[in-house]
Amino acid sequence: MRFKLTIAYDGTNYSGWQVQPGKNTIQGEIEAAIEATTSQKVKLHGSGRTDRGVHAAGQVAHFDIETRMTPRSMLFALNSRLPTDIRILSATRAKNDFHARRTAHSKEYRYVLFNGGILPPCERLYAVQVHRPLDMELMRKGAERFVGEHDFCAFMANPQRIVESTVREITSFTISKRGSFITFRVRGNGFLYKQVRSMVGMLIRVGHGQEKPERITELLDCKAERTARVPSAPPQGLTLWKVWY
C-alpha cells in the first residue's frame, strides 16, 4: 500500500529534510515513527529537500508498506510518536504511480522579511530582519524578471550532487507588505538548491539600491555559475507552502 502524507514542520532544530548520518532530520524522524508504529523499515520520499532551519506548511511525501492500518489510524499513530514540531496534516492512500517528487507539477515557497526596528521575539524563527528601508517597487520589478523559463545556474548553490538541468520555470512571483512584514511568494515547476533564498537575497540588494532590476535578467541570460553578487538569504524566513499534483 502506498501512503501519501502532507506534512508541516518547524525546521529550526533540524539539519534539513534529508536523512544524514549522525544528524537530526525531518525524514529521519518520520521514518523512525513509521517503524515504531508498524515494525517495518520504510523509505520516505519527499517532494523536495528543505535545508537546515527551513520550515514547511505543506510538504508532501510517500512511502510503501504492507499494513492493514487505515490512513486515519496511521495519521494519529504517527503524530502520537513524532515530536511536536513535526505534524502529519493528512494521510491518504495513493495510486502506485504517484510519486511525491516526480509527479509534482508545481510548488510554492514563501519567504518573510521583517523590515522594521524591533522584531517581535515570537517571529524570530520565521522571519528575517532587514533594518534598512527596502524599495517595494524596485523589488517587484526585479521579481517580474524571474518569471518564465530560465537557466537559474546563477541562483543555485553547489548541491554537491549531479544536477541534470538548471532550467526551471517560475510561473508567479509576488511581493506583498503588511505592516513591517514583507512576504515573497514564488511558484514554479521546481527549484534548485538554495534557489529561492538566492532570488530573495538578490531582491534585497535591489531593494537597497545596490543592484538594478535589470541585473537579474543579465544574470539569467549569462548562464554562469553563481558569484558573491548573489547572496543567499538566511533560512529561517523560508517555508515550503504547498505542492500541487
What residues are labeled active site? 51
Counting beta carbons within 10 angstroms of the beta carbon of residue 39, is it exposed (0 to 12), middle (13 to 18) or buried (19 or more)? exposed
Nine-digit cell string for 70:
487505515
Cα 50 to Cα 231: distance, rounded to the nearest angstrom:
18
- Among 187, 207, 17, residue whose Cα is nearest residue 128: 207
162 contacts 95 by C-beta, under 8 angstroms: no
- Phi, psi of 60, deg, nearest 5: -125, 140
- Among 64, 23, 65, 27, residue whose Cα is nearest residue 46: 27
Cα 96 to Cα 93: distance, rounded to the nearest angstrom:
9
Q: What own/partner pairs with CB < 8 Å and gap ≥ 24 does 212-220 have?
A: 213/138, 213/141, 213/142, 213/144, 213/145, 214/145, 216/142, 216/145, 216/146, 217/145, 219/154, 219/155, 220/145, 220/146, 220/150, 220/151, 220/152, 220/154
